Structure 1
Amino acid sequence: MLESINLPISCNFSSFPHLKPSRKAQSRNLTLVQSRAPLPFLKPDRILLRNSNSQFLKHEKKGLFHVCRSSLNNPDPDKTEIQDEGRDWTSSVLLFALWGALLYYCFNLAPDQTPTQDLYFVKKLLNLKGDDGFRMNKILVGLWYIMGLWPVVYAMLLLPTGRSKTQAWPFVVFSFFGGVYALLPYFALWNPPSPPVSESELRQWPFNVLESKVTAGATLVAGLGLILYALVGNAGDWKEFYQYFRESKFIHVTSLDFCLLSAFAPFWVYNDMTARKWFDKGRWLLPVSVVPFLGPSLYLLLRPALSETTAPTDSSASSSDPSQ
């Protein structure tokens, strides 16, 4: 009956007690082998329990915590691995704390002196208001449209090489509406390394679009045009925008969103660069990626195709499939 059970056993004791094999144990042909110094093929902190069917229960000491794994029904007991102690959740906790603090700030502490004006601005930017003679601030217009391009940049950085057990695409889709406030939970849940992308996947949507130089070039040109449009604004536009930033929750939260997306982008550029094994040739783009939006967009245009670096071919993937 025990042979059909494969159970992980967690042990919190420092060592097994000294056992004397009883007659009952001898009748079941159970032997206890405890490693000692004269036995070079066993480590001093490892104990093996063996029965007549050559089934093992391996115990290995890991400080104050011990992890044991049953190897019943294991075709190769010598290759039984010790369970690891799990991932380090420190960075995840910090990112979740940052996310919660940002949400609290946006909903409770951000300036909110002009709610009616904010609603009017949103309608104007969505083209829900006709031409009523009001001139929109150029910096605000440029910021609004460039926030629609940031999710494209992050999709090109996250979906091919920033994937994890947690699906990235729902967070990327919601980032078109929520910006960094929708991406931060994924940053916290992300657990490298990312799974590889096969050649067949790269030829399918959305990877064929996200890996395209046309997409990267169009994103860079559009972003550059919007930034130039905003910078051409006169000094009055900057003073007016600063006043909006101090009074309007909509503009205040959107500006903070832009700054945070710019701050996180260099890390994901570095992650994508190392995943493509292009760090030696493309390291000069890391300081360039600090430039808001333009730096990451330039990297996306110049980076090598994933199929040329790490993507496994379909033939190699099929040959490595154990089911075949």
Structure 2
Amino acid sequence: MPKPLGVRARIKTLSVPFQKKSAVQICHSLKKESEVGGNDGRDWTTSFLLFLLWAALIYYVFFLSPNQTPSRDTYFLKKLLNLKGDDGFRMNEVLVSLWYIMGLWPLVYSMLLLPTGRSSKNSIPVWPFLILSCFGGAYVLLPYFVLWKPPAPPVEETQLKTWPLNFLESKVTALISLVAGVAIIIYAGLAGQDVWTEFYQYFRESKFIHITSIDFIVLSTFAPFWVYNDMTARKWFDKGSWLLPISLIPYLGPGLYLLLRPSLSAVAISQTPVEPK
């Protein structure tokens, strides 16, 4: 007995998710389902796992990370903040590079999270976390990732012309941040093997250098997701998806994306990303 037209159509619809998809398409589908599938717009298990990650990092930082040279850490911090004059000591070039690149990460994340990474209307604001990330890095941003609820509220044309969106959307800002990052990374890359060996020894002994290095790794790990989130909000997935694997390159990948991404139009940010073809 032939099935009714409605039943056949539903079977056909249900069979679509089982067709072969690329890894990026699967990621896109999972994100879209999580946004429409719950009262909070997001699967609570993701927030719970992110909270566990943040709690584990905080516990490690305070109780398990090495702390063999607290006085030297204080000295290094004063030197990096230019609070100590020239005493003839040459700072490790890799450490100096790490310090300056960490100063650029808050700008990169601000450009990724404002406005497309904002939490849904009447939810927690992102700007306090971005400001505090200048001092606490990923250890401050992770709680926002836990609380984040997509989609981002629409943005109006007038908002795009005011501070800070006009600054964060500027190609000049993106270019300066990318060029600065390239220069810092080249400076570290040109350091000799003995400098890198010394930095590794610092990493094993110093709490300050140890947790800063972990901070850099965590920021680099989460950046590709926020690149993807921003890309879909701008409806640029079909043309810009080739940048997703490049965004895995620490700092440089997200920096290149920020330079090449299209500007936000006067139309409100789409709350449902375009499905890739």
TM tier, shorter chain?
0.7 to 0.9
Identity of aligned residues (%): 68
Aligned twin of 1:88? 43
Report the residue type matching 1:122 in the other structure. Answer: L
**Mapped contact 2:66–2:204 kept (Cα < 8 A):** yes
Relative to its length, the structure with more strand (as a share) is 1
Asked whether the equivalents of residues 147 and 258 of structure 1 are also in contact (C-alpha less than 8 Å), the reply is: yes
CA deviation string 1:62-82 (max 9, x = no partner): xxxxxxxxxxxxxxxxxxxxx
- TM alignment of 1:71-110, pairs within 5 A: 88-110=43-65
CA deviations 1:174-206 (Å, max 9, x no partner) are 000000000000000000111111100000100
Q: Would you say the 8 A contact 1:92–1:189 is kept in 2? A: yes
Task: Tell me how many residue pairs correspond in the alignment.
Answer: 230
For 1:283 and 1:270, locate their aligned partners in 2 and report how far apart those are by CA, in whole Å.
8
Note the 1:193-272 alignment, pairs <5 A. 193-272=151-230
Indicate yes or no: 2:150 matched with 1:192: yes
Query: Is residue 143 of structure 1 aligned with residue 101 of structure 2?
Result: no
Contact 2:93–2:187 at 8 Å: present in 1 too? yes
1:130 maps onto 2:91 in alignment: no
Is the 1:289–1:299 Cα contact (8 Å) retained in structure 2? yes
- Distance of aligned partners of 1:84 and 1:242 in 2 relative to their CA distance in 1, 3 Å threshold: closer
Q: Please show how residues 104-119 of structure 1 align to structure 2 within 5 Å.
A: 104-119=59-74
Inter-partner Cα distance in structure 2 for 1:306 and 1:291? 25
Higher relative contact order (CA 8 A, sep 6+): 2
Alpha carbons 2:41, 2:150 under 8 Å: kept:
no
Moved more, 83-92 or 238-247: 83-92
TM-score in terms of structure 2 length:
0.81
Unmatched runs of 5 consecutive residues or more in structure 1: 1-82, 313-324
Is the partner of 1:151 in helix, strand or coil?
helix
Q: Which runs of 4+ in 1 moved over 2 A?
A: 83-88, 308-312
If each structure's helix is expressed as a fraction of its own residues, which one has the higher value? 2
Shift of 1:89: 1.3
Q: Give the aligned CA root-mean-square deviation in angstroms.
A: 1.6
Segments of 5+ residues of structure 2 without an aligned counterpart are 1-37, 271-277
Query: What is the aligned partner in structure 2 of residue 31 from structure 1?
Result: none
2:228–2:244 CA contact under 8 A, matched in 1: yes
Amino acid at match of 1:294: L
Q: Secondary structure of 1:107's partner?
A: helix
Aligned residue number for residue 315 of structure 1: none
2:129 aligned to which of 165, 171, 177: 171
Q: CA deviation at 1:247?
A: 0.4
SS in structure 1 at match of 2:149 = coil
